[in-house]
């Protein structure tokens, strides 16, 4: 072991109580950083997952200009070639074609605006959780024409129950008025209130017929194998589809954050608040290390002078003090990680189901009342780098002070 490191290790334990307190503060900070970053990652991933699985999918393929206008004019043609290309995309868990348009639903004297969503009953489950959100009745099926599944609040506002018949009317792709009777076959509860108040699901075939849309669809939703692969899927989809030649017409490929920018902003805001809090915590730990090392250097002025007098070069004295700081931080990191990683992995395997007002608040934001944790490799790596960087910064002044003194001045000190 190099001389400086050996001396540093022994010096660290000269005042074991002070070292213990500094290490404990570092352990506390490391634990909180790893735990809260993993909690935020888990919650954010759950928010995205919940949202993409009732809304857009991780990635959405649309006709050119659909995002800006959202009319039937910006469509794509779902021919065999496009289906083949979608099916062969790497990193995709499922894909589901959809027709999304707006219409009015009437029952007796009640009329409500609705988002009419035409889905392929066989494929929809590979992307969204809509079929799992049924509260009553059944999901739409190609076996029964003119079936309709309503959001729970929409059904309440219309006074509709399973088995009731509703009138849907809208403007078709041909710009003619379209109207048809649909039977309510199911009622589902959606976590996002604005969707629960507006969504009416029909089969893709019924939607295409109702809107005189032929083989066209407004979008194809893709679900990536994991939230980490969204960018890769988007890139692959762009490469596979944007070149044309698939018979679909010009297409655009959007990731969830382009389709739901408000969700991304919410996550960024939440991250900003959390990182600010953690930064304050880390700075406090940095001052703790600075205090310990500076006190240690000031107490040992004479001893450091002796080392210089005996022939230790100023650079070696600098390295010695630096090594003491890094050892303090390293000890805190090792113990902190040893506590934080198992704790996070346990919570990752055992999500916390919330109840009461907290659950209600989360549901209001369209989230399931479940707290989840996710340990990403960058979390411990980033924590280690941050704490070491703070320790390095904290050691700079004491190390500089220790190494620049003249031996004679240090030897004269009490």
Partner 1 sequence: MAILEAKGVTRVYETRGVETRALRGVDLAVEAGEFTALAGPSGSGKTTLLNVFGALDEPTEGSVFLDGEDLSSLSPAELAARRLHKLGFIFQAYNLIPVLSARENVEFVMELQGVAPAERRERALAVLAEVGLGELAEKRPTEMSGGQQQRVAVARAIVSRPKVVLADEPTANLDSKTASQLLDLMEQLNRDHGITFLFSTHDPLVIDKARRRVRLHDGRVVSDERA
- Tell me the closest approach of the beta carbon of residue 298 to partner 1, in angstroms: 16
| Binding segment (CB under 8 A) for partner 1, from list 34-42, 244-252, 364-372, 401-409 | 401-409
Stretches 4-12, 16-24, 118-126, 279-287: which one binds partner 1 (CB under 8 A)?
A: 4-12
Instruction: Specify whether the CB–CB gap between 172 and 178 falls below 8 A.
Output: yes
Contact 15, 296 (CB under 8 A): yes
Segment 9-48, which members bind partner 1 (CB under 8 A)?
10-11, 14
> Is the CB of 27 or the CB of 304 nearer to partner 1?
304
Task: Return the residue of 1, 87, 177, 310 that touches partner 1, per CB under 8 A.
Answer: 310
- Enumerate the β-bridge partners of residue 113: 104
**Looking up tokens 């198992």, which residue turns up?**
342
Contact 57, 51 (CB under 8 A): no
* Closer CB to partner 1, 3 or 352, in the complex: 3
Q: Considering only 177-185, 272-280, 302-310, 318-326, which stretch makes contact with partner 1 by CB under 8 A?
A: 302-310
Is position 205 an interface residue for partner 1 (rule: CB under 8 A)? no
* Tokens standing for residue 274: 């959390």
Stretch in the footprint of partner 1 (CB under 8 A) among 42-50, 212-220, 284-292, 313-321: 313-321
CA distance 19 to 327: 10
Closer residue to partner 1 in complex, CB, 177/310 = 310
Q: Is 190 left (phi over 0), alpha (psi -120 to 50) or beta?
A: beta
For partner 1, the closer of residues 112 and 301 by Cβ is 301
Burial label, 235 (beta-carbon count in 10 A; 0-12, 13-18, 19+): middle
Alpha-carbon Rg for the chain, nearest whole angstrom, is: 31
Number of residues that bind partner 1 (CB under 8 A): 21
312 is an interface residue for partner 1 by CB under 8 A: yes
Would you count residue 138 as binding partner 1 (CB under 8 A)?
Answer: no
Helix (H) or strand (E) holding 96: strand 92-107
Q: Are 369 and 353 in contact (CB under 8 A)?
A: yes
Distance separating alpha carbons of residues 102 and 173, to the nearest angstrom: 12
User: Of residues 242, 279, 309, 389, which one binds partner 1 by CB under 8 A?
Assistant: 309
Show the tokens assigned to 187: 């009622």
Contact between 210 and 180 under an 8 Å Cβ cutoff? The reply is yes
Query: How many whole angstroms separate alpha carbon 342 and alpha carbon 348?
Result: 10
Answer yes or no whether residue 100 interacts with partner 1 by CB under 8 A. no
Give the shortest CB-311-to-partner 1 separation in angstroms: 3
Longest dimension (CA), the chain: 100
Q: Is 298 in the site for partner 1 (CB under 8 A)?
A: no
Stretch that binds partner 1, among 7-15, 39-47, 66-74, 362-370 (CB under 8 A): 7-15
Q: How far is the CB of 25 from partner 1 (least distance, A)?
A: 24
Interacting stretch for partner 1, rule CB under 8 A, among 3-11, 208-216, 224-232, 337-345? Answer: 3-11
What residue spans of 118-165 are helical by DSSP H? 152-158
Among 258, 271, 303, 363, binds partner 1 (CB under 8 A): 303
Shortest Å distance, C-beta 393 to partner 1: 25
């Amino acid at each position: 072991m190099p001389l400086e490191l050996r001396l540093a290790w022994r010096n660290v334990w000269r005042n074991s109580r002070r070292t213990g307190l500094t290490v404990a503060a570092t352990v506390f900070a490391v634990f909180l950083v790893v735990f809260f970053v993993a909690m935020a990652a888990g919650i954010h991933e759950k928010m995205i997952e919940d949202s993409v699985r009732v809304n857009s999918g991780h990635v959405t393929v649309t006709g050119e200009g659909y995002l800006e206008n959202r009319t039937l004019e910006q469509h794509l043609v779902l021919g065999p070639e496009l289906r083949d290309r979608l099916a062969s995309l790497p990193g995709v868990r499922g894909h589901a074609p959809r027709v999304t348009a707006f219409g009015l639903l009437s029952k007796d004297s009640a009329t409500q605006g609705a988002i009419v969503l035409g889905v392929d009953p066989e494929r929809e489950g590979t992307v969204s959780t809509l079929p799992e959100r049924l509260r009553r009745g059944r999901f739409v099926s190609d076996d029964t024409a003119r079936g309709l599944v309503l959001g729970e609040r929409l059904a309440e506002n219309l006074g509709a129950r399973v088995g009731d018949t509703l009138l849907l009317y809208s403007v078709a792709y041909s710009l003619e008025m379209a109207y048809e009777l649909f039977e309510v076959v199911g009622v589902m509860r959606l976590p996002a209130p604005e969707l629960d108040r507006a969504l009416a699901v029909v089969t893709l075939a019924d939607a295409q017929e109702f809107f005189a849309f032929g083989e066209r669809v407004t979008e194809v939703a893709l679900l990536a194998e994991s939230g980490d692969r969204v960018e890769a899927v988007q890139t692959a989809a762009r490469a596979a589809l944007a070149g044309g030649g698939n018979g679909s017409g010009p297409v655009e490929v959007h990731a969830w954050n382009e389709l739901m920018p408000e969700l991304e902003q919410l996550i960024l805001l939440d991250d900003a608040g959390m990182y600010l809090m953690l930064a304050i915590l880390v700075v406090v730990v940095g001052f703790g290390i600075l205090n310990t090392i500076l006190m240690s250097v000031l107490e040992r002025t004479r001893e450091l002078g002796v080392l210089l007098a005996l022939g230790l070069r100023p650079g070696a004295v600098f390295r010695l003090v630096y090594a003491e700081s890094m050892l303090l931080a390293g000890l805190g990191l090792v113990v902190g990680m040893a506590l934080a990683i198992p704790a996070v992995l346990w919570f990752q395997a055992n999500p916390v189901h919330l109840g009461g007002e907290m659950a209600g608040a989360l549901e209001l934001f369209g989230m399931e009342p479940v707290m989840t944790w996710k340990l990403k490799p960058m979390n411990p790596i980033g924590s280690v780098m941050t704490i070491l960087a703070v320790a390095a910064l904290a050691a700079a002044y004491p190390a500089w002070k220790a190494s620049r003194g003249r031996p004679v001045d240090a030897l004269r000190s009490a």
